Amino acid sequence: MSWVIEAENLTKTFAWVPVLNQVSCQIAAGEVVGVFGPNGAGKTTFLRVLATLLRPSTGKLTLFGASPQEAHVRRRLGFLGHESFLYPDLTPIENLTFYGRAYTVPDMQTRIATVLRQVGLQQWGNTVVRTFSRGMEQRLALARVLLHEPDLLLLDEPYTGLDAQGVAILQSALAHMKAQGKTIILTTHDFAFGLELCTRALIVDRGRIAWESDGHVPSVQEFIARYHSTILHSAFRIPHS
């Protein structure tokens, strides 16, 4: 089996305090991994380290069997974070043209039109992003991520700020990518949305992977019970049975 992500003892410290503590995991192509956990557990840090946005303090990260510093590895990576990474003074088309050039997307005009239609912003293509609402900007950010058709998609709380229509767009885009065999990792507080999609669930707490599903993804009810007991156990550092 070829691993898309191989993480060995990843530690990331902020102001010399570990936020991510000796995390190891391997994720295969085609997996959809839901990362759950309370605020401040290290979910975002985990994702940003995987996205090569943060340099791990210690430990080793391998993406697609290569060093994450290599440009061709980053070419296959998509990351959607809290911030949209869009220039407010440019229009969606200009923003996407810029990212399209940076990623050397072939047949760019058509591709931009496609993703804009996919997120339902086709009639807003020439309006400056600064005038957009939070939800519209998030949708455009999704378009930015889909633009270069990444093989590994990292999503940090993708549902925040989206209205019902936006959630539907996101869900269908993710389902589509899952069907294509792309690897997806997402963090969310919404158990129902997350569990519906994923093939593996992780609970992160206090900078460690506190629990990991084996084989099958539990139902929401089952998961909530598991979630609370895990957090409780990890708070008192009781080794898990």
Partner 1 sequence: MWALLWKDVLLEIRTKERVSSLFVLALLIVLIFVVALGPEQVQGPEIGAAVLWITLVFSGMLGLQRAFLIEQERGCFSGLLLCPIEPGTLFLAKLVGNILFLMLVESVAAPVTLVLLKLPWSWSLLALPLVLFLGIVGFSALGTLFAALTVRTRAREILLPVMLLPLLIPLLIAAVHVTSAMLAGMVWTGVWLRVLLAFDVIFVVTGWLIFPQVVQE
Partner 2 sequence: MKQGAVFMDRVLPWLTCGLMLIALAFVFLYVPNERIQGPAQRIFYFHLPAAWNTFLGFFIVAGASAAFLWQGDRFSDLLAQAAAEVGMVFCTMVIITGSIWARPIWGVWWTWDPRLTMVVILWMIYAAYILLRVLAGDNELIARYAAVLGIVGVLDIPLLYIAVKLWRGIHPKVERMAPEMIWTLLVCSAAFLCLFAWLIWLRLRSLILRDEVAALRRQVVAVS
Examine residue 14 and tell whether it contacts partner 2 (CB under 8 A).
yes
Binding-residue pattern over the window 178 to 217 for partner 1, x denoting contact by CB under 8 A: ----------------------------------------
Examine residue 90 and tell whether it contacts partner 1 (CB under 8 A).
yes
Query: Which is nearer to partner 1, 91 or 171 (by Cβ)?
Result: 91
Rounded alpha-carbon distances, angstroms, from residue 113 to 100, 118, 127, 168 = 12, 9, 15, 19
Strand order in the sheet with 32-36: 77-80, 152-156, 183-187, 32-36, 200-205, 208-212
Residue 44: CB atoms within 10 A of its CB come to 20
Strand order in the sheet with 17-28: 17-28, 3-14, 58-63
Return d(Cα 145, Cα 99) in angstroms, integer: 9
Query: Which is nearer to partner 2, 16 or 179 (by Cβ)?
Result: 16
Examine residue 57 and tell whether it contacts partner 2 (CB under 8 A).
yes
Examine residue 99 and tell whether it contacts partner 1 (CB under 8 A).
yes
**Residue written as tokens 């519209």?**
136
Query: Which is nearer to partner 2, 57 or 199 (by Cβ)?
Result: 57
Examine residue 138 and tell whether it contacts partner 1 (CB under 8 A).
no
Examine residue 7 and tell whether it contacts partner 1 (CB under 8 A).
no
Examine residue 17 and tell whether it contacts partner 2 (CB under 8 A).
yes
